[in-house]
Amino acid sequence: MTVKGWEVVFKGERLQADLVAAVLDAHGIKVEVFGDTAYSVAVNFTEAKVFVPEDSVEQAREVLKEGSSPPAGRSGGDGG
């Protein structure tokens, strides 16, 4: 699926797509989620795509990249 003027920045389970969309929206990025809504917390049968306008792709990818990195100063060890 392609939408003229929009680009996919995330593809995965609908519940995850909704969370990604909420994060991008909180950063002021216009976002649309396309996919079936037939899911529950326990079972997810659907795949969804998160689209942003072409002029927001780099900003969206940066936000998502920052969200997947460990917090600054944390090496992933046990802290001791």
Q: Rounded distance, CA 55 to CA 74, Å?
A: 33
pLDDT of amino acid 52: 97
pLDDT tens column, 11-67: 998 889 999 999 999 999 999 999 876 656 666 667 899 999 999 999 999 999 987
Residue 60 in any domain: the answer is yes
Residue 22 within any structural domain of the chain: yes
Domain count across the chain: 1
The pLDDT of residue 6: 95
Give the predicted TM-score (pTM) of the model: 0.74
Decide if pLDDT at 1 tops 70: no
Q: Which range of residues forms the domain containing residue 39?
A: 6-67
User: What CA–CA distance (Å, rounded) separates 60 from 53?
Assistant: 10
Q: Is residue 53 part of a domain?
A: yes
Confidence at residue 78, expressed as pLDDT on a 0 to 100 scale: 55
Asked whether residue 75 is assigned to any structural domain, the reply reads no
